[in-house]
Amino acid sequence: MAFPPRTRPLASDRLPAVTTSSTLYRDCARLFMVGFPGTDIDSELAALMDDGIYGAILFKRNVGSAGDTAALCHALKSRAGRPFILSVDQEGGRVARLRGAPFTTLPPMRELGQRGDAAQVERVGRLLAYELRALGFDYDFAPVLDVDTNPANPVIGDRSFSREAEEVARLGVALARGLEAGGVASCGKHFPGHGDTTTDSHLTLPRLPHDLERLRRVELVPFRAFAQAGLASLMTAHVLFDALDPGVPATMSPRVLQGVLREELGFDGVLVSDDLEMKAIAGHYSVEEATVQGTLAGVDLFLVCHDAEVQRRAIEALVKAVESGRVSRERIAQAHRRLDALSARFAHPAEDRLAALGSPEHQALAEGLVSTFTGRDPTEVMLASR
């Protein structure tokens, strides 16, 4: 496969010349979304926010009651004093950070795939968006676009819609459209496919041996559909693909991200890395090298989800790479352009929308879904949430 040279960004996309070191630091910090401990804004997170990070991701460790979580989201946005994107993994099934009343219990995506009803899946996306917006989230790392071709896969399994690539494409796009219609950015994952691995990238570096013909026929099909639909973002997989770049994980590979995703599939949305602290990366590369190579490969936004010291090291590595000329300011500007576009559509101000949960509109969105998936009457569920 021949890969054309990387397209250079327009001059209008370029950042102005650096005037102070703090300006460059903020420009680079903007390519990061971080995790943090606990349910409060600690001093390390506050300092990173002041230095310009793009946003934060919340995990189970950050989430209490609906009211507590809404208060934390409000505090984060108010503290930032600027558009500050808040994200979460709320897929449904076993990957759902927000659980119990007043949130709708959704089945694994495999069950939705077995039903095959794209209109229902889009409605699920709208319901997810409604509940996330009520708490203050702007961004959901869903849907999973991996094709469930390997029953031994330890990490994807029932998170995937189907073993058929076209079904994953059809239903994944439907869920993402529902999310985005509801005002929450979607993120398809994990490019270019994690469905046929036998190991978990949280723990080790998986490898896929398939040739390009197989990748184009199976793994890449949902991502092609996602790109053609013009949806907000995609997440990289920390996986080695022998046919594309056998020695480099997809997150750090220009051949995979630039050559296949950007140029062959035509995707121009935000490209997000999976967490750089996962063992697939951290067990083989320093966070500094992963950040710099990932930026050169085409990643626009890096997730660093746990350690503030690692987060600082990653930002500082990118600053040094720009100062040395290894990473061009045009590449940083290109990432800013895409992040600006996502923020313009999906960044919401700090506002009190918690009362929307359990409202007639919320009940109408859940009508038919709750009874279908849980056997419970939707009115009972909504009343219990008040």
Active site residue 202: yes
Label residue 153 left, alpha or beta by phi (over 0 means left) and psi (-120 to 50 means alpha): beta
Q: CA of 159: how far to CAs of 2, 105, 148, in Å?
A: 33, 15, 8
The verdict on whether omega for the bond into residue 102 sits within 30 degrees of 0, i.e. cis, is yes
Gap between the Cα atoms of 244 and 3, Å rounded = 10
Active-site residue, from 158, 200, 202, 268: 202
Active-site residue, from 140, 274, 300, 307: 274
The verdict on whether omega for the bond into residue 143 sits within 30 degrees of 0, i.e. cis, is yes
HSE-CB of 172 using CA atoms within 13 angstroms: 38
Cα angle 148, 153, 154; round to 5: 130
Quickly list DSSP for 198-261. Answer: SS-TTTS--EE---HHHHHHTTTHHHHHHHHTT-SEEEE---EETTTBTTS-GGG-HIIIIIII
Active site residue 238: no
Q: Known catalytic residues?
A: 202, 274
